[in-house]
Every structure is written in C-alpha cells, then in structure tokens.
Chain A
Amino acid sequence: MTKTNERKLTIARAMAEATAQEMRIDPSVFVMGEDIGPLGGVYGNTRGLIDEFGAERIRDTPISETAFIGAAVGAAMDGMRPVVELMFVDFFGVCFDAIYNLMAKNIYFSGGNVKVPMVLMTSTGGGYSDGGQHSQCVYGTFAHLPGMKVVAPSNAYDAKGLMTAAMRDDSPVVYMYHKGLQGMGWLGTEAGATVHVPEESYTVEIGKAKVVRQGRDVTIVSLGMGVHNALKAAKTLEGQGVSAEVVDLVSLVPLDRETIRASVAKTGRLIVVDEDYMSYGVSGEIIASVTEHDISVLKTAPKRVAFPDVPIPFARVMEQHCLPNPDKIVAAWDGMKAA
C-alpha cells in the first residue's frame, strides 16, 4: 500500500517522533524511565529525545519502578503529563500497586475531581528466547483491571497516532508495544509493522478497532504481532478459496465490541489470535463479547489461537511450539470447517 516515495518508519521511530512533537507544543509532557536518556530506550522509543529536550524532561531513573511510576501519578495529578516506561511488561510484578491501586484508581476515588494524564509505555512479547520473565504479553491482566486505557499498536502508523492520543488523554493509558514489531537492529522485526508515517502530528482514536482486511467467510481478531500472523494466514486461506476478514483491535480498553460484532455478523465465524495466555484473557473476552450479544450469528463454534497456560519456555523449539503462528490459524480454520 505504501508508495515508494512515502516515508516509512519503525514503531520505535514513530513513538519517538510522536513524543518529540508533543513535547514541543506541550511543556507539561516529560518522559521518565530506565535507560530512556542517552541510550534512547532499550527498544529505541526515546532515541534522540535527550538531545533536543535535555535530561530534565528526558529523565533517566533509578531501577525503582514503584517509585517512578508512583511519582508519575503524583506529577500527573499536579498538572504534568508524564510518559513513563516500564522496560519489560514482565516487570509489573515489582510495581503493580503504583499501577493498579494508584494510577488506575485515583480518578475514581476522587469522583472525577482529579485527572491522571499519564502514559505507561511497556514492551511485550517473545519469540526470541528471552525466557519466562522477559517475554510475556499479559494484555489481559492490564485490560482486566478497571481504570486504565490499554492500547497495542500493530504498525508504525497506529503507533504514532496512538502515542499522541495517549499523551493528550486525561486518563492513564497503558501503551503496550511488541518487541518483535519495534524495528530494532538487534532483534528480528516483522516487516509489516514498518509502514508509511506522516510527518505531521496526528491521533489514532483510542477505543476504535480497524478492519485491516476485508473478507466474507471468517473473522480473525487479533492485536499487535497477532495481526501480522492473521494477515499471513488470511493470504494462505485466500489460496484455498477462503475469504478471511482481519480485525486489528488496536485498543483493548475501551474495547470496540461493535466492530468485532459487525464483522462476525457478516462472516459467521470467529478465530481469535492472542499471544497472551489462553485462559481468563483477551481471547475469551472477545468470544464472550460476540456470543453474549447474539450467539445466532455464529455458524460454528469460535476458535482461539493463544499461548497455552504455561510460563514462556526458553528453548527455541519449545517457545515456538507455544506461540501463535499463521499455520495454527489456518489449522483453526480447518478445524472449524470440519466441525
């Protein structure tokens, strides 16, 4: 779709550009986190910012997630718009009180009399043998707990627009970017994530899903890396004469149930692809959102392609066995057809 003369960016570059543009027009925006200063973020999403904005606004922190995320809550309530980085989402274990008891609840506890305009950006995903404490997605964990908006871009266009929208939101936004889409030189990247990104500032609406491929026979719903797996599977299915529609959730909270329901109403079949753990998570929520609304739209039982309920294993063959991939999505369709 991208023309040759159009500028393409990685998600990392798109996030950094959105942040820089917002910081130029809004002095209340600042960034803090581990290694986000001279290093530019372990995943490149703050690269170059310290040169333009300096160490006051691009603030390296001690390894104290509880302190700096809690501090972001206090700064946000006091008129600033902090962007904080939790380097790996897996690290939420050391700081979740600041996230779900402070960041997510202070608006409610104040009856809406305080705002908590902050962005918590955090890396997700595995597939590169980083072991079980550096490879998780835990989308469902964050989306389950009320008070946080949750977004997960699948490409650089959405990444930039969501970042800008998140920084302008008066509520906390958890911005979950997938390491395998990020465009880091030292980590393989899904080529489909690096797309045309306009130079000017723009927003992508939080809470609005996108139909990224039109189809008639089956709806494949996913987010982040899963969208690319779904698109690859859709291409394979097309070769078999099957027309698959792909819905990119873009946001988990608010969840755009209307777009999902409209697509499944059209196709009558649903496959959900999620790199997070299978049980009690996003995949179950998507299916429930369809079935509790109108189960009669389904011509056959829905399917899930998700991470099995085990910690992320290290060995390459074991991890790849567990991760969703296009073949598993095609196999889910085959199972559906046989039913």
Chain B
Amino acid sequence: MSPTRDEQHWMYRNMVTSRRFEEAIAKIYFEGKQPVFNMANGPIPGEMHLSDGQEPVAVGVCAHLTPEDVVTATHRPHHQAIAKGVDLDKMAAEIFGKATGLSGGRGGHMHIFDADVNFACSGIIAQGMGPAVGAALSRKMQGKPGVAVAFLGEGAVNQGAWHEAMNLAAVWKLPFVCVIEDNAWGISVAKSTATAIENNADRAAAYGIPGKRIEGNDPFAIYEAAGEAIARARAGDGPTLLEVETYRLAGHFMGDAEGYRPEGEKDALFAKDPIPKMRERMQAEGTATEADLDSIEAEAAARVDAAIKFARDSADPAPEDALTAVFAA
C-alpha cells in the first residue's frame, strides 16, 4: 500500500514544515546565547531537542491518523506534533513561553498538549506509553473509534515502563501502536552499547504481537508498515510494535558538541537527508512536479514564518498566572 498522490503531497508538506520550523527555532534559539552559551537566556530558553531528519517517521504514521486518534510523544516532539495537526501558532508560542501558547507558557517544548487533536507529551523517557495505552483502553471500553500511538526513542525500550505498558496493551488487546524511532543515539550512548539486541521489533515476540523494523528512514516504507499496524488496531486485532531506522541530524539538544559521533557520521547522514530524497522520488515517479514541490515548500515556509511571528508578537504570560491551572477549573 503506497501513499496516494495527495497523501504524498501532505507528507512532503509536513516534513518540510517541520524542517523549516526546526531551522527557525534553531536560529532564534541562539539569540541571546552568544558569545557565551547560557541555556537560560534568549527568546527561547531551556533545553531544545530538534527532530531534523526524523520527519519521515512522523508523517508516515500520522498520514493514517485523524484528529480523533491519540498520539503521545517525547521530549523531541515537534515533527510529530506538526504531523498530528497541533496548532502551529500556539505551539510556537508555547516554545517561546508566551501567554498565547498551548498551555500559556506552563509547559514548554517538552510538554506539548493539544486536546483538540489528542496530542500529549512526556519529557520522561518511555512515560508516554502508559497514557497512550490508557487512551486505547478508553476507546475500547467506550466502543468509540480511534487508535492510540506512542512515539518513543530506541533508548526507551530499556525502561520498565515500556515493557509494562506493552504487556498491558497486548494482554488487553488494545487499539495501540508503539512506534520506536531508532536514531541510534540515546544522548551520547550508542544503541549497540545500551541494547542487547539489534532489532527492537524482535521484542514483539515477548508480547505475542506483530513487530516490524523499517530500514532506511523511508517515508513510503514507514507509511506502508504503519498503515498495516493502524488498520490492525482499528479492526480490534490488537497492538503492533514498529521500529523505524531514522537519523538524528542535530545533537541531542541545542548546544550538544556531539563529540561522541564517529568521524564522518554526520556527513553521511546529511547525504541521506530524507527531504531531498522524497522530493527526487516524487518527481521521478511523477507524483509531483518541480512547481508543485516549490509551491509546497513556499507554503510551508510562509506557514512557519507566520507561526514564528505570532509567537514573537505575543505577550509574555502574567507572572502570577503561574499559580493557576494546577487543578481542573
């Protein structure tokens, strides 16, 4: 099952939007942080985890989702948020810590919540699993349509929370898909150093569910595998585990010197950048003309510019509003 022409255009638009967004964030992030880097300074303070290179995972999966479906993401959530349809203006404003942000500045970039499209995050490794499995349980119990997808990094599978939640999803046969983004690095620790097996999809056998690894950071292959997994979940046949090979083109966080990377790794990864590859493939297969792609890129850039402007122009929150929204109104 290949994505339709329209789906390919949607996927490309979201990949480019995510990349342009991250580029804009990266540039602004260093405002006020030079010549001396201090994470606390500038219009975007705090840690910043960029997802450049990982866009195929977000679009290949989210192409199959509707706003009613549930997604939980990680400390590195922007590409998934964009592909899930999180309001880009409000997300940008949240990253800037503005009053108009998704939570009015209470959460920040690791805590992106948009109830309108059922998107939530946790900055703690593997802790998006429980809530996603719970949302899947909720749908099953209510007899309501919708599946839940938890995105995690490959380091998360070594957390107890991951195992507990996979077992729960399997024993209760829930409409759930776990998507492991294998970018090969847990901050500075290589997957081979941290994980006893090469292919985390093999772990699916431990829960009696299907597991599949998708190589090559290929949006088309991810689309196909995710389509099967999500269809299986929608049909009531239970969860699936997917592991996707992807590339972290940036450091773990902004300011990461990446001294742990082997010589030449970054150059090799940039040579495999999935965005130009998708552009070439669509042109080669005739699903998009150069003009189509240029137009998509221009639209994405304009969308990002507007979101960044919205964030910059928005007011800071009233400091005392920090004391509100601890409990439900």
Contacts and interface: CB of A to CB of B under 8 A. Distances in A.
Contacts of A94: 160
A73 B141 contact: no
Given A73-B134, A110-B115, A64 B167 contact: yes
A97 B124 CA distance: 8
Contacts of B161: 66-67, 70, 97-98
A102 interface: yes
Contact of B120 (A68, A114, A117): A114
Contacts of A102: 122, 127, 130-131
Which of B70, B135, B142 has most A Cβ within 10 Å? B135
A79 B138 contact: yes
A109 interface: yes
Contact of B328 (A56, A80, A171): A171
B326 interface: yes
B63 interface: no
Nearest to B139: A78
A108 B124 CA distance: 16
Interface stretch (B101-109, B217-225, B263-271): B101-109
Contacts of A106: 113, 120, 131
A62 interface: yes
Nearest to B127: A97
A78 B327 contact: no
Given A66-B130, A70-B134, A109 B164 contact: no
B231 interface: no
A71 B136 CA distance: 9
A114 B115 contact: yes
Interface in A55-74: 56-57, 61-62, 64, 66-74
Interface string B109-150: 001011100101110100101111111111101100000100
Contact of A66 (B103, B138, B164): B164
A112 B130 contact: no
Interface string B165-183: 1011001000000000000
A57 to B, nearest CB: 8
A77 B135 contact: yes
A30 B120 contact: no
A30 to B, nearest CB: 7
Contacts of A110: 102-103, 107, 113, 115, 120, 325
Nearest to B103: A111
B103 A70 contact: no
A323 interface: no
A115 interface: yes
Contacts of A111: 101-104, 106-107, 113, 325
Contact of A74 (B103, B114, B134): B134
A212 B101 CA distance: 47
A145 to B, nearest CB: 11
Interface in B60-74: 70, 72
A114 B327 contact: no
A112 B327 CA distance: 7
A56 B141 contact: yes
Contacts of A57: 141
Contacts of B132: 74
Contacts of B130: 66-71, 73-74, 98, 102
Which of A98, A117, A170 has most B Cβ within 10 Å? A98
Nearest to A32: B137
B168 A71 contact: yes
A146 interface: yes
A68 B167 CA distance: 11
A74 B164 contact: no
A75 interface: yes
Contacts of A105: 111
Interface string A95-108: 00110011001111
A55 B223 CA distance: 36
Interface string A160-185: 00000000011100000000000000
A212 B311 CA distance: 54
A171 B104 contact: no
Interface in A22-68: 28, 30, 56-57, 61-62, 64, 66-68
B257 interface: no
A105 B113 CA distance: 11
B325 A77 contact: no
Contact of B134 (A28, A71, A101, A171): A71
A64 B113 contact: no
B127 A70 contact: yes
A107 B107 CA distance: 10
B137 A71 contact: yes
Which of B70, B121, B327 has most A Cβ within 10 Å? B327
A109 B103 contact: yes
B329 interface: yes
A67 B141 CA distance: 17
Contact of A109 (B107, B141, B324): B107
Contacts of B102: 110-111, 113
Nearest to A80: B138
Nearest to B116: A113
A228 interface: no
A110 B114 CA distance: 7
14 contacts: A64-B164, A64-B168, A66-B165, A67-B130, A67-B167, A70-B127, A70-B134, A73-B131, A74-B136, A75-B138, A77-B131, A97-B127, A108-B107, A149-B327
Q: Which A-B residue pairs are the 6 nearest by beta carbons?
A: A70-B130, A74-B134, A74-B131, A71-B134, A111-B103, A170-B328
